Chain A
Amino acid sequence: MISEEKHEELNEEMEARLWAYIDGIAAPQELSAIEGLIATQAAWRARYHELLHLHEALGSLELEEPSLRFTRNVMEEIARAQIAPAANKYINNRIIWGIALFFILSFLGFLVYGFAQLDWSAAADSKGTLGINFEKVDYSRMFNNDLLNIVMMTNVILALMLLDRYLSKKKHALRGS
């Protein structure tokens, strides 16, 4: 004896599988399985016909119609309008890549500077990876310059803002709004 919750779950699964079958999006093996269930089980057959009737009713859906003046109103308005140039013509990709390169080089520059502050000779160890015992490296000297840290964080924030604007413009261009 199955609980009401389990019964509900089974019903939902049956409907989901039948809809996938009716919509034609079920995988080939699933299609055969569902055809078998419809052929052999009364509950599946009944639910299938119920959903198919709804599907056919939705297929007969009528579209709403606007007023007869609709097209004329639109054409009168566009006679005054102009087609805007394509978005990719005023988002100059070379400038975007140039700015991106500047930020990438800045970050790399900071990293190189940071690593250059470390005393590598104190951590030299012939047994270590690349001749260095990384556990002995004093990392506290890396980026211990407050001004440099502020400039780096400002760079990070500016880069993220630029990325957000670029992606937002692209999204608007694609969605046409």
Chain B
Amino acid sequence: MHTGTTDTEVIGRVLKGDTQAYSILVDRYRNYVFTIVLRYLKSREDAEETAQDIFIKAYRHLADFKGQSKFSTWLYTVATTTCISFLRKKRPEVHSLDNEKIAGLADNIDGGLRANTIEQKSRATMVSKAIALLSPDDAQVITLFYKGEQTLEEIAGIMGKEPNTVKVQLHRARARLKARMEEHFREEVRDL
């Protein structure tokens, strides 16, 4: 994942007063945290603001990180709990179904993606868009397993679940993803 200074070394430096060293951790994990947050929040604007808040919160509580787990595991835990709190506070937007422009919102993701499948041949882009159609929990477990370099036990700790539950959830999330991909990206799935 990265070479050079380890997370533990950087944290040690920050705790001794070298605040600027924290930018190493931010650069190292910003994409991971932003991706996790975007899976929950869907809006890039909200996700960017929340992801920044997560790093600031992690900095404030850096003294609580004991090194018993990986720093990434601890950071993703902070990210997950922050996203869940955010979603609980945020009220869902209510739109009038009489508004023609707004009525299209319900089909926006599905319809737009189908229209773009001809242009978007990238396997990674297709997978990413299919994941956006999953529930936040399903998207989270897939992202943490495939990109977050977390074991099932670590993911269980992050999501506050039993490892066996996470194993089953991962299995079901992949099945649902496969179904979504077959439904929306039939041609690309055949190419796979």
Contacts and interface: CB of A to CB of B under 8 A. Distances in A.
A166 to B, nearest CB: 16
Given A61-B143, A70-B30, A75 B23 contact: yes
B184 interface: no
Given A60-B123, A83-B15, A84-B60, A65 B77 contact: no
B19 interface: yes
Interface residues of B, number: 56
Contacts of A136: none
A75 B26 contact: yes
Interface residues of A, number: 38
A38 B131 CA distance: 29
B52 A173 contact: no
A67 B119 CA distance: 25
B74 A64 contact: no
A79 interface: yes
A64 B127 contact: no
A177 B81 contact: yes
B70 interface: no
B56 A78 contact: yes
B127 A177 contact: no
B26 A71 contact: yes
Interface in A86-103: 86-87
B124 interface: yes
B118 interface: no
A162 interface: no
B95 interface: no
Contacts of A85: 63
B74 A176 contact: yes
SS of B interface (majority)? helix
A59 B32 CA distance: 14
A41 interface: no
Contacts of B161: none
Interface in A143-177: 173-177
A110 interface: no
A78 B24 CA distance: 14
Interface stretch (A29-37, A50-58, A118-126): A50-58
B35 A83 contact: no
A86 B66 CA distance: 9
Interface string B14-40: 110001101100110011101100100
Interface of A: 15-16, 19, 25, 51, 53-54, 57-67, 70-71, 73-75, 77-79, 81-87, 173-177
18 contacts: A15-B171, A19-B171, A25-B152, A53-B192, A57-B192, A60-B127, A62-B128, A64-B31, A65-B31, A66-B51, A70-B26, A74-B56, A75-B20, A75-B26, A77-B52, A83-B61, A84-B63, A85-B63
**List of 3 A-B pairs having minimum Cβ-Cβ separation, nearest first:** A63-B31, A86-B63, A176-B78
